Structure formats: structure tokens, C-alpha cells
Amino acid sequence: ETGVTQTPRHLVMGMTNKKSLKCEQHLGHNAMYWYKQSAKKPLELMFVYSLEERVENNSVPSRFSPECPNSSHLFLHLHTLQPEDSALYLCASSQEGRGDEKLFFGSGTQLSVL
């Protein structure tokens, strides 16, 4: 148990559906992240929130919409996804959002887009 909880663990959705991924951290951290992990590709940083403000958005398509209502919760809202969006989506947290910090990861949501 890393202190970072992601739900659901698995999600299957059609291209016209709207769904949300949830992440919750119990570590008292101030920074939270969304990563996309596709087969045989490096982890792709999608979004970073530090002190509930988005500080980085790596050119992610608008069909992915993050929300960070407080420092403990992070959501990823999904709509009109494409099959190539099928991947493992990992949430992580750290103390302040600096590059020298240890990241704590959740177990991920395995997303399949049909």
C-alpha cells in the first residue's frame, strides 16, 4: 500500500462515453500527477498539479480534462476517447512537485477504449 489509491482498477468505455478516473492520496503531499503508460513506451507525463494549481500540461488532447479540487484528490475526466487512448493511467504524488523528489504511485486504472 503506497498511500495513493486509484479507482476504478479497470474501465472499458466506448468512444462516445464520458467517464472519470479518481485518485486519492493519504500522504499529505502537495503535488499530484497523471501519467499514461502504454506498452513499450516511456511513461508519459500528462498533468502536474502543485498546491492544487496545474503547473504542467504536456500537450495532452482536450478529450482528457484534469481536475484537482484539493491537495488530496485528483480526477481525470474522459470524453470521446480514441482506441489509441487505451493504456494504464497512473496517478502519483510527491511532497512539493520538484524533480528531486520521490514519487508515490497508485496501482493505476487499466483503460480500454472500444
Could you tell me the smallest distance in angstroms from the CB atom of residue 90 to other proteins? Answer: 6
* Radius of gyration over every alpha carbon of the chain, rounded to an integer in angstroms: 13
Residue of 17, 63, 67, 103 interacting with other proteins (CB under 8 A): 103
Residue 1 near other proteins by CB under 8 A: no
| Stretch 37-76: interaction string toward other proteins, x if CB under 8 A | ---xxxx-x--x-------x--------------------
- Asked if 11 touches other proteins (CB under 8 A), the answer is no
Lookup: cell for 54:
496545474
Piece in contact with other proteins (CB under 8 A), picked from 14-22, 59-67, 79-87, 92-100:
92-100
Bridge partners, residue 73, by sequence: 24, 70
Single out the segment in contact with other proteins by CB under 8 A; choices: 13-21, 67-75, 76-84, 97-105. Answer: 97-105
* Cβ atoms 57, 106 nearer than 8 A: no
Q: Is 80 left (phi over 0), alpha (psi -120 to 50) or beta?
A: left
| Residue that has been written with the C-alpha cell 498511500 in this structure | 3
